């Protein structure tokens, strides 16, 4: 199926089967490998991207559903070499170990903060509940999201 | 009888003993039979001819013993380019434990060069010295000193070069910040200008002058993770992110049960798909295709019939693992056993005795990046990028599987999305290489979550019987401890007990099993530390006091006191809805004590607070260590409370994250970490020991609240027993 995808502000024309999931198009067709495969079942959040600003599991999203939507991946957060406040906060709090979950965590947090700029710890926890970190950096991730929230409003 | 006290200082031996045997798949490739090629779009089927590599069969058996000797020349470990860039070579690998950073710090410390000038090449079998693997918390105690020695030798060599260059007195020269400066003449030269990129040929000194931890300036500080920015921007290339020109995507067709053999195979539908290559070699069936979606469709279109023997099930697990092994254990040194005093006399002198049994379920590591490999054959040489803790062992596995000499195989290990002891083997590497061989093109293979849950090896299940005798005053006088199948790591007690009999009993394991963070030490600590609480109850002593009474080791006493102090142990009383537990651990040269608070709500157990004290000698990176300790606590919650693999007749019944619960944000307790930095002691590793005292502390806390003693891991997969009350 020929499709046009709007990813990180750039239009990409592709011809792939309509049932192809966005995750594989990003990673295999477009080389945007910052978005990760973790389970392929929508249960780990490693593949989280923003669709029209809202966090979504790219492993569950067929092209037919995402065409026409504004897609943002981890590669689209940096602006002119300057990290997004959430990226900056993750780096500062060292909110990772193997960091394989980091892209998905950051995208979910960016989605949360755009909707709720001053979340409580409980709101961060419930938003990120679907994102798995196996290294156990959860407390640092919550701290990083809080740091990003306060940094944005300084 | 081999005793655990016969500890060898030889690191290689030590590393072998740390590494529990992992059952390897035997692929038994014939390599030439039935390779189906569907040329891209061409529709032609050809059969691969006999493999030229067959002629080199003897090569794979060649065991290069010299390779395992650590090189003594500086240049094998370290190179300084003309521009001052320092490249360091180590066979250790980065899986999130942050050794890329901690080793870089140690090089910077001794070489006296800026962190930014140093790059580590890790786990590349063509470039780095041989290394058995990254496991057993060995990097900090073995590779740290190794690289510090190499760096110190390089530094002294650079001072020699500068002294010659200036014809100056060596004692007036100082190495600092990547430069040698003559303190008298104020002349200064950079390392790069001195070496001009030439190799430093000097041999390393056996006993070099190393900085004492009390004098560390770069080591011992919280240096941020090297390349941290590449991880928050998604730019870091994990194995699964690598792409090569013309690369195909692989998919393996898995049997429906373990130990299956292929009965019949119909690949006609898959063959007809454009751009699909089908490979069958023995019991291996796989496809490679132009994209991952097509590969998946082709694999699904293959009709394979398997026959599998009848296999044991979870229902009889804890009886099955008590059966003695019928094949000899390949655990080096044989089944460990430790005896001291007389267990019979110990029991006869006891006022009270106690006998209990503890059980441990199979669990899976669930690294978020599943097994992955990219394989490429070129001019008879095989190159594989793969996420493994043992690149050299995977190289050997590949050489054996394809019957080629080891020097025709190169394994590279990109910094990987975690392992936790679960990535010692090369399954994905072998499978990708087999597909790539047939395709004549590079192939990437990424296991699915279901494959990772099913075909990766498991943490061993086990049964532990403990029988003990104690005097009225709280002195333990007899300690008998039998571990069935779970493993010998952490078998010995840290308590001073006169009469002991401790033994590990191997079995024929029902599932393919292998290493897991801490090996069997968390299981042995669970049984031991829950039993300690039971003994304390038996003699009506407070659990902290009872432990202290039986503890001579000052380092163990110090962590126990530190954890109790941070937690405020004894300050709050147990109630039916809130309980407090404490536990102690010692393993791999480091000490841990953990206090846990649990909240019981409607038969559900929540861990609300954990205070852990940890001591691993001199700390190389305090923030990195805090991250490891806190992470081990979060990860340990899963195995303690709810993680379990369910299986029946050779099938895994819960191979998905929807069915296998891992710790999530809502499980997060308040975590307080206390680090005891012992700058007078050599640094020990910290990847494993911080997980060990958590489960028993939680069990003891549950007892404090409910009076029920959880003696099985996981403890409360279905919540506490008993009727749920309305909230």
Straight-line distance from the first to the last Cα atom of chain B, in angstroms, rounded to the nearest whole number: 56
Least Cα distance to B369 among B99, B668, B665, B96 occurs for B96
Alpha carbons B365 and B95: distance in angstroms, whole number: 13
pLDDT of residue B28: 84
Asked whether residue A38 falls in the same domain as residue A91, the answer is no
Burial class (CB in 10 A: 0-12, 13-18, 19+), B453: buried
Which residue, among A99, A125, A140, would best test binding to B if mutated, counting the most B CBs under 10 Å from its CB? Answer: A99
Q: Which of B235, B293, B662 sits opposite A20 (nearest CB)?
A: B293
Measured from the Cβ of residue B378, the count of other Cβ atoms closer than 10 Å reads: 8
Q: Which of B229, B235, B292 sits opposite A34 (nearest CB)?
A: B235
The whole-number average pLDDT for the span B57-74 is 59
What does residue B430 show for φ and ψ, rounded to 5 degrees?
-65, -45
Instruction: Report the CATH number that the domain containing residue A99 is assigned in CATH.
Output: 1.10.150.120
CA angle, residues B285, B95, B620, in degrees to nearest 5: 165
| Residue that finishes a domain, picked among A76, A93, A128 | A76
B58 pLDDT above the threshold of 60: no
Q: Is B727 helix (H, G, I), strand (E, B) or coil?
A: coil
Asked whether residue A16 falls in the same domain as residue A46, the answer is yes
B17 pLDDT above the threshold of 80: no
A95 pLDDT above the threshold of 90: yes
Residues B216-240 have pLDDT tens digits of: 999 999 999 999 999 999 999 999 9
B268 pLDDT above the threshold of 60: yes
CB A58 within 8 A of CB A30: no
What does residue B67 show for φ and ψ, rounded to 5 degrees?
-60, -30
Asked whether residue A94 falls in the same domain as residue A70, the answer is no
Antiparallel, parallel or unpaired: β B372-378 and B443-446:
antiparallel
B398 pLDDT above the threshold of 80: yes
| Residue that finishes a domain, picked among A76, A100, A115 | A76
**Average predicted confidence (pLDDT) for chain B:** 91
Alpha carbons B182 and B163: distance in angstroms, whole number: 9
Asked whether residue A8 falls in the same domain as residue A31, the answer is yes
**How confident is residue B165, by pLDDT bands cut at 50, 70 and 90?**
very high
Asked whether residue A62 falls in the same domain as residue A7, the answer is yes
Question: CA distances (Å), B264 to each of B28, B81, B137, B280, B282, in order?
Answer: 18, 58, 45, 11, 11
Least Cα distance to B663 among B671, B675, B673 occurs for B671
* Residue A82 DSSP label: B
Burial class (CB in 10 A: 0-12, 13-18, 19+), A82: exposed
Asked whether residue A6 falls in the same domain as residue A58, the answer is yes
Do A91 and B633 count as a contact with CB atoms less than 8 A apart?
Answer: no
Q: Is B609 helix (H, G, I), strand (E, B) or coil?
A: strand
Measured from the Cβ of residue B5, the count of other Cβ atoms closer than 10 Å reads: 9
Alpha carbons B473 and A60: distance in angstroms, whole number: 63
- Token pair 């740091």 is found at A147
Alpha carbon B60 to its chain centroid, in Å, reads 27
| Residue that finishes a domain, picked among A49, A76, A103 | A76
Do A94 and B228 count as a contact with CB atoms less than 8 A apart?
Answer: yes
The whole-number average pLDDT for the span B272-297 is 95
Do B446 and A37 count as a contact with CB atoms less than 8 A apart?
Answer: yes
Minimum CA–CA partner of B371 in chain A: A38
Q: Which positions in chain B touch A106 (Cβ < 8 Å)?
A: 232
The rounded radius of gyration (Å) of the Cα atoms in chain B is 28
Check residue A136 and give left, alpha or beta (phi > 0: left; psi -120 to 50: alpha).
left
Asked whether residue A99 falls in the same domain as residue A61, the answer is no
Alpha carbons A146 and B347: distance in angstroms, whole number: 57
Question: CA distances (Å), B133 to each of B42, B121, B310, B584, B632, in order?
Answer: 44, 15, 35, 28, 21
**How confident is residue B727, by pLDDT bands cut at 50, 70 and 90?**
very low
Note the helical H segments in B323-404: 343-348, 391-402
CB B546 within 8 A of CB B532: yes
Least Cα distance to A131 among A71, A24, A43 occurs for A43
Do B368 and A38 count as a contact with CB atoms less than 8 A apart?
Answer: yes
Asked whether residue A10 falls in the same domain as residue A71, the answer is yes
**How confident is residue B67, by pLDDT bands cut at 50, 70 and 90?**
confident
**How confident is residue B52, by pLDDT bands cut at 50, 70 and 90?**
very low
CB B647 within 8 A of CB B362: yes
**How confident is residue B331, by pLDDT bands cut at 50, 70 and 90?**
low
Measured from the Cβ of residue B539, the count of other Cβ atoms closer than 10 Å reads: 18
Tokens describing residue B623? 């923030």
B445 pLDDT above the threshold of 60: yes
Whether B416 contacts chain A with CB within 8 A: yes
pLDDT of residue B725: 53
pLDDT of residue B32: 63
Alpha carbons B716 and B81: distance in angstroms, whole number: 57
Do B96 and A37 count as a contact with CB atoms less than 8 A apart?
Answer: no
Alpha carbon B643 to its chain centroid, in Å, reads 18
Alpha carbons A81 and B16: distance in angstroms, whole number: 46
Asked whether residue A108 falls in the same domain as residue A61, the answer is no
What does residue A70 show for φ and ψ, rounded to 5 degrees?
-85, 115
**Cβ neighbours for B290, distance < 8 A, ≥ 6 positions apart:** B40, B248, B249, B275
pLDDT of residue A152: 65
CB B490 within 8 A of CB B664: no
Alpha carbons A123 and A140: distance in angstroms, whole number: 15
Give B596's strand partners.
Answer: B581, B610
Alpha carbons B249 and B570: distance in angstroms, whole number: 58
B47 pLDDT above the threshold of 60: no
CA angle, residues B363, B431, B278, in degrees to nearest 5: 125
Query: Percentage of chain B with pLDDT > 90?
Result: 85
Q: Which of B95, B231, B630 sits opposite A102 (nearest CB)?
A: B231
Tokens describing residue B22? 């992992």
CB B267 within 8 A of CB B302: yes
Specify the number of domains making up chain A: 2
What does residue B300 show for φ and ψ, rounded to 5 degrees?
-70, -25
The whole-angstrom distance between A154's CA and the closest CA on chain B is 22
Q: Which domain holds residue A132?
A: 85-152
Chain B residues 217-246 with a CB less than 8 Å from chain A: 224-225, 228-229, 231-238, 240-241, 243
Q: Is B448 helix (H, G, I), strand (E, B) or coil?
A: coil
Chain B residues 56-95 with a CB less than 8 Å from chain A: 95
pLDDT of residue B7: 35
Q: Which positions in chain A touch B235 (Cβ < 8 Å)?
A: 34, 75
pLDDT of residue B162: 96
The whole-number average pLDDT for the span A29-53 is 98
Q: Which of A33, A102, A142 sits opposite B241 (nearest CB)?
A: A33
Query: Percentage of chain A with pLDDT > 90?
Result: 92
Instruction: Identify the structural domains of chain B with CATH numbers, from first to last.
Output: 35-40+241-307+371-446 (3.30.365.10), 68-232 (3.30.365.10), 321-362+458-713 (3.30.365.10)
Which residue, among A87, A94, A120, would best test binding to B if mutated, counting the most B CBs under 10 Å from its CB? Answer: A94
Give B51's strand partners.
Answer: none
Alpha carbons B141 and B146: distance in angstroms, whole number: 9
**Cβ neighbours for B583, distance < 8 A, ≥ 6 positions apart:** B525, B529, B532, B533, B593, B594, B693, B694, B695, B696, B697, B700
Do A137 and B664 count as a contact with CB atoms less than 8 A apart?
Answer: no
- Token pair 């001019």 is found at B379
**Cβ neighbours for B71, distance < 8 A, ≥ 6 positions apart:** B77, B129
Residues B96-127 have pLDDT tens digits of: 999 999 999 999 999 999 999 999 999 999 99
Tokens describing residue B141? 């105690």
Query: Percentage of chain B with pLDDT > 70?
Result: 90
Asked whether residue A90 falls in the same domain as residue A146, the answer is yes
CB B621 within 8 A of CB B221: yes
The rounded radius of gyration (Å) of the Cα atoms in chain A is 15
Instruction: Report the CATH number that the domain containing residue A60 is assigned in CATH.
Output: 3.10.20.30
Least Cα distance to B620 among B220, B139, B147, B214 occurs for B220
Chain B residues 449-508 with a CB less than 8 Å from chain A: 449
DSSP letters, B530-596, are HHHHHHHHHTT--HHHHHHHT---HHHHHHHHHHHHHHTTTSS--BTTEEEEEEEEEETTEEEEEEE
Alpha carbon B9 to its chain centroid, in Å, reads 21
Straight-line distance from the first to the last Cα atom of chain A, in angstroms, rounded to the nearest whole number: 46
Do A83 and B243 count as a contact with CB atoms less than 8 A apart?
Answer: no
Q: Is A10 helix (H, G, I), strand (E, B) or coil?
A: strand
Measured from the Cβ of residue B666, the count of other Cβ atoms closer than 10 Å reads: 12
Asked whether residue A11 falls in the same domain as residue A65, the answer is yes
Asked whether residue A65 falls in the same domain as residue A90, the answer is no
Whether B195 contacts chain A with CB within 8 A: no
CB B108 within 8 A of CB B114: yes
Angle between helix axes B99-111 and B144-166 (nearest 10 degrees) is: 30
């Amino acid at each position: 199926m020929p499709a046009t995808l709007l990813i990180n502000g750039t239009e990409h024309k592709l011809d792939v089967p309509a049932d192809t999931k966005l995750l594989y198009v990003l990673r295999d067709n477009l080389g945007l490998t910052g978005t990760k495969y973790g389970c392929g079942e929508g249960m780990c959040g490693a593949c989280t991207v923003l669709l029209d600003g809202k966090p979504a599991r790219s492993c569950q999203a067929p092209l037919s559903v995402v065409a026409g939507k504004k897609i943002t991946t981890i590669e689209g957060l940096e602006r002119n070499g300057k990290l997004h406040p959430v990226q900056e906060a993750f780096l500062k709090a060292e909110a990772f170990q193997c960091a394989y979950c980091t892209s998905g965590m950051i995208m979910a947090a960016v989605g949360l903060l755009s909707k709720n700029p001053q979340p409580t710890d409980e709101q961060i926890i419930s938003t990120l509940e679907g994102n798995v970190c196996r290294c156990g950096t959860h407390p640092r991730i919550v701290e990083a999201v809080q740091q990003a929230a306060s940094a944005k409003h300084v | 009888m081999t005793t655990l006290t016969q500890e060898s200082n030889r690191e290689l031996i030590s590393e072998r003993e740390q590494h529990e045997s992992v059952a390897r798949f035997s692929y038994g490739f014939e390599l030439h039979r039935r390779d189906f090629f569907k040329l891209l779009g061409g529709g032609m089927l050809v059969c691969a001819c006999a493999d030229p590599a067959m002629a080199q069969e003897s090569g794979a058996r060649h065991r290069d013993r010299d390779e395992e000797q650590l090189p003594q020349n500086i240049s094998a470990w370290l190179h300084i380019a003309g521009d001052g860039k320092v490249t360091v070579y180590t066979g250790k690998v980065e899986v999130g434990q942050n050794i890329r950073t901690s080793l870089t710090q140690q090089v910077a410390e001794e070489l006296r060069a800026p962190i930014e000038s140093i790059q580590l090449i890790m786990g590349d079998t063509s470039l780095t010295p041989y290394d058995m693997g990254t496991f057993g918390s060995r990097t900090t105690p073995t590779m740290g000193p190794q690289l510090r020695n190499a760096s110190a030798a390089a530094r002294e060599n650079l001072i020699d070069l500068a002294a010659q260059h200036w014809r100056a007195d060596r004692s007036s020269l100082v190495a600092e910040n990547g430069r040698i400066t003559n303190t008298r003449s104020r002349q200064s030269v950079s390392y790069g200008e001195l070496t001009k990129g030439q190799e430093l040929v000097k041999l390393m000194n056996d006993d070099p002058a190393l900085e004492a931890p009390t004098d560390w300036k770069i080591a011992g500080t919280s240096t941020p993770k090297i390349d941290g920015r590449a991880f928050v921007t998604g730019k870091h290339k994990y194995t699964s992110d690598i792409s090569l020109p013309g690369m195909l995507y692989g998919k393996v067709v898995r049997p429906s049960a373990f130990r299956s053999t292929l009965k019949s195979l119909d690949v006609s539908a898959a063959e007809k798909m454009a751009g699909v290559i089908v490979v069958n070699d023995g019991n291996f069936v796989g496809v490679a295709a132009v994209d991952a979606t097509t590969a998946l469709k082709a694999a699904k279109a293959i009709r394979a019939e398997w026959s599998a023997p009848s296999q044991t099930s979870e229902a009889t697990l804890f009886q099955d693992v008590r059966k003695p092994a019928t094949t000899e254990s390949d655990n080096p040194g044989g089944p460990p056993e430790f005896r001291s005093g007389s267990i019979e006399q110990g029991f006869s002198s006891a006022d009270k005795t106690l006998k209990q049994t503890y059980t441990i379920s199979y669990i899976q590591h669930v690294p978020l990046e599943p097994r992955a490999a990219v394989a490429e054959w070129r001019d008879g040489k095989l190159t594989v990028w793969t996420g493994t803790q043992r690149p050299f062992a995977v190289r050997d596995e590949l050489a054996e599987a394809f019957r080629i000499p080891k020097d025709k195989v190169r394994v590279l290990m990109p910094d990987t999305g975690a392992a936790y002891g679960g990535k010692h083997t090369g399954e994905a590497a072998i499978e990708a290489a087999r597909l790539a061989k047939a395709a004549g093109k590079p192939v990437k293979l990424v296991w699915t979550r279901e494959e990772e849950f099913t075909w990766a090896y498991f943490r061993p299940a086990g049964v532990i019987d403990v029988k003990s005798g104690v005097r009225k005053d709280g002195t333990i006088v007899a300690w008998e401890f039998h571990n069935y199948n779970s493993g010998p790591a952490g078998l010995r007690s840290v308590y001073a007990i006169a009469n002991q009999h401790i033994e590990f009993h191997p079995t024929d394991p029902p599932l393919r099993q292998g290493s897991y963070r801490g090996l069997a030490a968390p299981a042995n600590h669970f049984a031991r530390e829950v039993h300690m609480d039971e003994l304390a109850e038996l003699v009506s002593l407070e659990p902290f006091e009872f432990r202290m009474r039986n503890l001579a080791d000052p380092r163990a006493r110090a962590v126990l006191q530190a954890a109790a102090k941070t937690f405020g142990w004894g300050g709050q009383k147990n109630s039916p809805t809130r309980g407090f537990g404490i536990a102690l651990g010692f393993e791999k040269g480091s000490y841990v004590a953990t206090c846990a608070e649990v909240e019981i709500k409607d038969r559900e157990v929540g861990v609300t607070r954990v205070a852990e004290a940890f001591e691993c000698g001199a700390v190389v990176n305090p923030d990195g260590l805090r991250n490891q300790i806190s992470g081990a606590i979060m990860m340990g919650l899963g195995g303690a409370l709810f993680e379990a693999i369910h299986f029946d007749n050779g099938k895994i019944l819960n191979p998905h994250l929807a069915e296998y619960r891992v710790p999530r944000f809502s499980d997060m307790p308040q975590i307080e970490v206390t680090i005891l930095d012992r700058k007078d002691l050599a640094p020990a590793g910290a990847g494993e020991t911080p997980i060990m005292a958590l489960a028993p502390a939680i069990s003891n806390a549950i007892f404090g609240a409910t009076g029920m003693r959880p003696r099985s891991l996981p403890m409360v997969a279905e919540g506490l027993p008993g009727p749920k009350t309305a909230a």
